[in-house]
Chain A
């Protein structure tokens, strides 16, 4: 029924605003980038699986939309594609196709990397993220134009599409952009909460410890 879905959406929106209030966009994005790199270099399938679950939980906590079905579908596709080129010990056979161990583990690893990165990205990229410098203000300007386009898009009709699109472009453009620097200024004004930064720092350290841990343990 509509009621349950509405409640879920509201709960998600609440989580999302808490998450956005807790973490400054630049710190969250930097932490996400560092953790993604550590995740990429991680060799162990078991550790990768654990990190994947952590990323999934983070994405859920951040209030972003999460589709387990899509993840399973894509992962199944990746594993299936990798199984099509058999490598390693045969563990089963489906018709003419031999299911091999190395190909299966490779496929699982690739699927974990693919979907894991999707989730850590979802958790760490906030819409308010802006790059510094000239490129950053260019992107910010593009976003402002985008808001305008969405505002005016109702006026597009298929029959007179080109003329409508042209008018739309002129209208969006003519209104000028006085607010261009406001967005950049607003992003700088956020004070960094120490708790948030500590959390992020701990997460980054944990992901790199997971990299070094197996190596150190093997020595001893």
Chain B
């Protein structure tokens, strides 16, 4: 094989890996939409309580996707949900953006900082509580003023509890999922 054929093979592999990552990102994004719809159907005592189930695919991606695709996934989730619900220019979308990006960054940092010393449970709790805290801060400035202190405790507590449950689910899922194994090899470029 000549040099040009070798480099074009490498280029083909790289672009196939890129396509694989785009595919994984898009599929996880689609599950974010699906889980958002599920969360919408679950009756909640207060309309502002958000369970954050839709962040589960992002939690799974923290170990799976390289950073640019990981962030792209978060943006796909926010943008896609805003278009589906027709809320792109409203504060609702802004809260979604702030919450999702905070969760994504917190989970990514937790994974990088603690490595194998922490399971998806800890990562998920950090993401959920950080996300809810940021949303509370945003609510204080934009919507509720000082009174936001009154709803902050139950909101943060919800983050802790759902974060823990999501983390447990994610751990079990990763252990058993055949899809996850296939996605991992796609992302790493082994097709």
A residues in contact (CB < 8 Å) with B:
29, 32-33, 36, 64, 70, 73-74, 78, 80-82, 84-85, 106-107, 110, 113-114, 117-118, 120-122, 124-125, 127, 129, 131, 135, 138-139, 141-146, 148-150, 153, 162-163, 165-166, 169-170, 172-173, 177
A33 to B47, CA, bound (A): 26
Can you add 12 more A-B contacts, CB < 8 Å, to A127-B83, A166-B176?
Answer: A36-B89, A82-B147, A85-B145, A117-B91, A120-B89, A120-B90, A125-B86, A131-B79, A142-B33, A142-B76, A166-B173, A166-B178
Instruction: Decide: A153 near B34, CB < 8 A? Known: A32-B89, A138-B72, A170-B179.
Output: yes
A117 to B85, CA, bound (A): 13
A146 to B91, CA, bound (A): 25
Q: Is the CB of A81 within 8 A of B33?
A: no
A70 to B87, CA, bound (A): 15
B residues in contact (CB < 8 Å) with A:
22-23, 25-27, 29-31, 33-34, 47, 72, 75-76, 79-80, 82-84, 86-93, 142-148, 150, 172-173, 176-180, 182-183
A141 to B178, CA, bound (A): 22
A146 to B36, CA, bound (A): 12
Q: Is the CB of B22 within 8 A of A169?
A: no
Q: Name the CB-closest residue of B to A128.
A: B83
Q: Is the CB of A74 within 8 A of B75?
A: no
Q: Is the CB of A81 within 8 A of B29?
A: no
Instruction: Decide: A139 near B80, CB < 8 A? Known: A122-B86, A149-B30, A166-B179.
Output: yes
Q: List 9 A-B contacts (CB under 8 A).
A: A70-B47, A118-B90, A121-B86, A121-B88, A125-B88, A138-B29, A139-B76, A166-B173, A166-B176
Q: Is the CB of A145 within 8 A of B88?
A: no
Q: Is the CB of A117 within 8 A of B27?
A: no
Q: Is the CB of B27 within 8 A of A81?
A: no
Q: Is the CB of B144 within 8 A of A81?
A: yes
Q: Note all chain B residues with C-beta closer than 8 A to A141.
A: 22-23, 26
Q: Name the CB-closest residue of B to A59.
A: B86
Q: Note all chain A residues with C-beta closer than 8 A to B182.
A: 170, 173
Q: Note all chain A residues with C-beta closer than 8 A to B142.
A: 110, 114
A89 to B32, CA, bound (A): 47
Most chain-A Cβ atoms within 10 A of its Cβ — which of B29, B90, B150, B173?
B90
A74 to B139, CA, bound (A): 13
B177 interface neighbour in A107, A114, A149, A162, Cβ under 8 Å? A162
